Structure 1
């Protein structure tokens, strides 16, 4: 084996050892990294499990709270319904007792013999409505009750009907009754049915009579409004509607019909002294402005193109016009390539930088002095021109 082959084998062996060391080191690092990732994954799973348990507890508490709230709401609604039903039942019982008392008094009054009715005995402390058999408060209460009954819905009427029937129609107790007793009970029921049918017929006839009275009163009111409108010279149907009639701006006896609108007619009554005053002030203002323009036209200074200010103004105007012309005609140009940035100059020494700064400051001061001198010269020229103009005048 030659020396070169030995060197090559030595290099290959060293290279192989280095690669094995690198591979072992990589495996060690990979093992540590894997252990670290597994630890992080384990912690993450633990946190997720813990969070899941907390969320489940919160949801269970929330569901329990909602269930209790729903039960409480249902219980309150049931209590409210029961209270309302109890109050309605008591109210219907009182109304039924009152109706039965009135029915009994009516039957008693019908059974009594007819007596003369020309003696009226007044007692001290009686109210005005007592002479008529019922007080004004009772009438007002009946009216309010009737209005409340009219405002009820169909479902409410059905509920009231069921409650009243349950109170009025009581179950029959026929156990242990003989035939004669059953016949007597059937006879009483038949008499009750006949009385109820007669009351129903009387109420229907009363309703018809009241409807007729309402129609008659409405017709009377219509005739009264018609006669009132005729007395005022209005259309007979003017006061029949819900709203009052429109205001007539012009007379209806004019030979020529006025086709103008209400706005045009109303303008005839607008204006007056204020409009006249405004017109006079406007005219006076125009006259004064015209006289001022005529007087001050000859006193205006003449245009002197030699004046430096005028030169500057004309130069600025010319530049603006040129800029406007350039802006009016847009020209498309391709984007130019950016020039290469020059290399940064080498840093200067500190002494050289200070000298350059001093030179720049001196140059700025000289420029400011020159500008001040030019401004003073311009002011002197303007004063001389003004003096010459005054002398010429």
Structure 2
């Protein structure tokens, strides 16, 4: 009887061990599947991020190529205008001599300064071509414009500070000169 009880006890313990073993094995398999799922999900996320990055890079390259082409076109147009202006000036010199240009130069100094300013402003101020842009690209363009304004304001501030400093230094030097002349 004791022998049978001991065998039953051993059998129960063995069954408990077997069940515990299968339970832990089942948990390990579930964890392994979960880990595989997470790895696959991360791999998919990384692939998606890489795809988005490469897409953005392609868009950036396309924008840069478009910008280069536009700048080259603009430069070609400016060269053509400059060439036409030179030809016109040369033909004017041939037809009218130097007299007409001398009279134009006397009164035209302010005009040329104004033209220089207009030229500089037209070079700085690029036309906004935003009709074809998507919402994300519009946000990017807005950020780019904001950054441009920020940079210009910073440059303006730096120049104003430099001007104030130079003005102060000039006043100090003038005072020193006047002090030396008194002595």
After TM superposition, the score normalised by the length of structure 2 is 0.56
Report the alpha carbon displacement of residue 86 of structure 1 after superposing the two structures with TM.
Answer: 0.4
Q: How does 1:1-393 map to 2 (within 5 A)?
A: 21-111=1-91, 112-113=93-94, 114-117=97-100, 119=103, 129-130=110-111, 132=112, 135=115, 137-138=117-118, 140-141=120-121, 228-233=175-180
Q: After superposition, give the CA deviation of every residue in 1:194-231 in whole Å (9 maximum; x if it has no partner).
A: xxxxxxxxxxxxxxxxxxxxxxxxxxxx9997564221
- Measure how far apart 1:84 and its partner are: 2.4
Aligned-residue offset at 1:75: 0.1
* Distance in 1 between residues matched to 2:172 and 2:121, nearest whole Å: 32
Please list every run of 5 or more consecutive structure 2 residues that lacks an aligned counterpart in the other structure.
126-168
Aligned-pair RMSD on alpha carbons? 3.5
Deviations, residues 171-192 of structure 1 (Å, cap 9, x unaligned): xxxxxxxxxxxxxxxxxxxxxx
Deviation of 1:41 (Å): 0.8
User: Closer, same or farther in 2 for the Cα pair 1:76/1:96, shift >3 Å?
Assistant: same
DSSP 3-state at the match of 2:99: coil
Change (3 A) 1:76 1:223: closer
Q: Deviations over 1:241-281 (max 9, x none)?
A: xxxxxxxxxxxxxxxxxxxxxxxxxxxxxxxxxxxxxxxxx
Counterpart CA distance in 2 for 1:233 and 1:133 is 39
Corresponding pairs, count: 131
Moved more, 222-231 or 75-84: 222-231
- In 2 relative to 1, CA 103–64 (structure 1 residues): closer, same or farther, beyond 3 Å? same
C-alpha distance in 1, partners of 2:170/2:22?
A: 98
Shift in Å, 1:24: 3.5
User: In 1, distance between residues paired with 2:72 and 2:172?
Assistant: 44
Quickly say closer, same or farther: Cα 1:58–1:144, change in 2 above 3 A. closer
Structure 1 gap segments, 5+ residues each: 1-20, 121-126, 146-221, 235-393
For the residues of structure 2 that align with 1:108 and 1:38, how far apart are their CA atoms? 103
